[in-house]
Amino acid sequence: MARVPVVRGPGTYGTVTVGYRAVAGSADIGSDFALVEGTLSFPDGVGVSTINVTIIDDAEREFEEDFRLELFSVPGKSTVGRMRFTSIKVTACRSICVHPQ
């Protein structure tokens, strides 16, 4: 399981909701990781929330692969700033490295 923290800022006043989705790179949806998409809400006063992505471990021998987790604005609910996505690398042994971009 990849646990990707999402930090809200600046400030934590009011409730904010953002959309998120996983986008395949060299890692494939369904065979390397489970499709995730939805919305993430930050209640008033909350600055960090987490998106969980299931990493699928199979018997196939593979090299390092990656996919992206993207944030997007929900009309009337939020505006996403400069950092709109992060790359997630899945190593050959199925460990996870998160690289914000």
For residue 94, give the 3-state DSSP assignment. Answer: coil
Q: For residue 101, what pLDDT is reported?
A: 57
Burial class (CB in 10 A: 0-12, 13-18, 19+), 33: buried
Q: For residue 45, what pLDDT is reported?
A: 95
Listed residue (64, 49, 56, 62) closest to 99, CA to CA: 64
pTM for the whole thing?
Answer: 0.82
Q: For every one of its 101 residues, what pLDDT tens digit does the chain have, with 9 covering 90 and above?
A: 889 999 888 889 999 999 999 999 999 999 889 999 999 999 999 999 999 999 887 677 778 899 999 999 877 767 777 778 899 988 766 555 565 55
| Structural domain spans, the chain | 2-100
Give me the phi and psi of 80, to 5 degrees please: -90, 135
For residue 10, is the peptide bond before it cis, meaning its omega torsion is within 30 degrees of 0? yes
2-100 fold: Immunoglobulin-like (2.60.40)
